[in-house]
Amino acid sequence: MINRKNVQLGTVRSSIRELFEYGKQRKKEIGEENVFDFSIGNPSVPAPPEVNAAIKEIVDECDPVLLHGYTSAQGDYGTRKVLADYTNARFATALNAECFYLTCGAAASLTIILNALLNAGDEVITFAPFFPEYRIFIENAGGRLVAVKCEEDTFRIDFDRLESAITAHTKGVIVNSPNNPSGVVYTEEEIVRLTKLLEKYSKKYGNTIYLISDEPYRELVYDERVKVPYIMNYYRHSVVCYSYSKSLSLPGERIGYIAVNNEMPEFSEVYAAICGAGRALGFVCAPNLFQQLIKRVYNVTSDVSVYKRNRDRLYSALTRYGFKVVKPDGAFYMFVKSPEQSSVDFCERAKKYELLIVPGDDFGGEGYARISYCVAPDMIERALPAFKKLAESYR
């Protein structure tokens, strides 16, 4: 009688959440320090001190009626202007405040842009492995997710598979780089090849294919030589979905944005559809206090050096133990190959050593498991002997 699909969505826990709850229970049984929980992508680094300092300043300095009042649906103009200037300086774009639409975080950015673009039956391509909520967001917008498997063992884009997946119904492609769960960052060469392909097929089918760049992990890159290409520099019909959840360690505060490339001829229509979709979904505006915050700390990032040290420590140890892992260039995940066919069985076996890692199946990455290394460094040290034993159990 009520909406079955949403009952189902609210009842079935994701495997990540399931494991997280198991971990909480297990910690009670054998002690916090004896469970090695690598299940959740929750930043372990606090927000930089500038954040709380700015919150107090804002509360002291701003007129409370304005501070806590509605902004326009698009967001505070001053904040959007600052974001435009910052983006232009950093990526040599020519955006203006009117290109930005502030949102309640990355999930909101995605549901809004998908509802803005999609009509019933449209297809959206993404590269597997991928963040499982994409499927839910796309289906809720009336579309169908088409997962294109990445190259085995490298998780780079498989362009042959991509080409055969594009149809006359393809409305968009979501790229997520640095990637959750593989940690891969797409190179400029890959992005150029991807955009050429989208141009070719947009023309062939007479349907614009939009490129949606989901970038919550943009600032989480650990080597100087690794650059995350800015999608707008390569493709006119592109939209960037950004979130401060990871870069400022503010996942619970729900603040991010959509930026629309003003080089696309139908810019005004796309931006209007974003406003319409945000309205219909019930977003009204992004939390005003955090809009004001971003205006002040737009160029600050949490200390992500911990994640880099975690990555290096874990990667070198795991490979030493014999695990196959693609070294992640960014984000805070590592996708490890299962030594047995079923990654579900692999993760179950890991549990015996109190290691909580998530089967890749939900991510469209069968045969792999995701390790979230946004954790305390000492937990990694304590977990390494367990990983070693896990590896040895397969000899």
Q: Is 270:221 a contact under the CB 8 Å cutoff? A: no
Q: 125 to each of 67, 72, 377, how far by Cα in Å? A: 40, 32, 36
Which residues 111-130 are close enough to bind a second copy by CB under 8 A?
111-112, 115-119
262 binds a second copy (CB under 8 A): no
Which residues 284-313 are close enough to bind a second copy by CB under 8 A?
284-291
Q: Is 181:219 a contact under the CB 8 Å cutoff? A: no
* Least distance (Å) between residue 328 CB and a second copy: 22
Half-sphere exposure of residue 159: CA atoms within 13 angstroms, side-chain side: 11
Which residues 185-244 are close enough to bind a second copy by CB under 8 A?
207-208
**Contact region for a second copy (CB under 8 A) — 2-10, 79-87, 321-329, 378-386?**
2-10
108 binds a second copy (CB under 8 A): yes
Nearer to a second copy, 55 or 82 (CB): 55
56 binds a second copy (CB under 8 A): yes
367 binds a second copy (CB under 8 A): no
6 binds a second copy (CB under 8 A): yes
Amino acid type, 57: E
b/e map 338-364, b = 16+ CB within 10 Å: bbeeebbebbebbbebbbbbbbbbbbb
CA distance 298 to 305: 19
Half-sphere exposure of residue 310: CA atoms within 13 angstroms, side-chain side: 28
- Per-residue x/- mask for a second copy, residues 135 to 154, rule CB under 8 A? -xx-xx--------------
Please give the size of the binding site for a second copy, defined by CB under 8 A.
81
**Contact region for a second copy (CB under 8 A) — 27-35, 68-76, 316-324, 352-360?**
68-76
**Contact region for a second copy (CB under 8 A) — 5-13, 30-38, 154-162, 214-222?**
5-13
**Among all chains, which residue has been given the structure tokens 């997946």?**
165
